[in-house]
Amino acid sequence: VTVDLYTPYRHLIHELFPHAIIIADHFYVVAQAYRALNKIRVKAMNQAGNGSHQWRALKHFWKLILTPAGLLKYDNYWS
């Protein structure tokens, strides 16, 4: 059974279908990873201090953190 990561759904499936194998839907796994990465980014921004160079870089270039390595362009560089 493919479901999201909502705990009550998983408990209900185990009650109704005790031998079912539960597989997390890939969309929810990716969404959870995105939320965790964003939480770490915000924590790093807060540690760097508002207005610092690191804070501005994490604020402005947050999409680069989520970009797959194969899609990054290494010949374009911003100082």
The SS3 assignment for 2 reads strand
Contact 49, 55 (CB under 8 A): yes
- Model confidence pLDDT, tens digit, residues 10-25: 899 999 999 999 998 8
In the chain, domain spans: 2-71
pLDDT band at 79 (very low <50, low <70, confident <90, very high): low
Q: Residue 39: which H helix or E strand, with range? A: helix 26-48
User: What mean pLDDT comes out for the span 31-43?
Assistant: 92
Q: What is the pLDDT of residue 19?
A: 94
pTM for this structure?
0.66
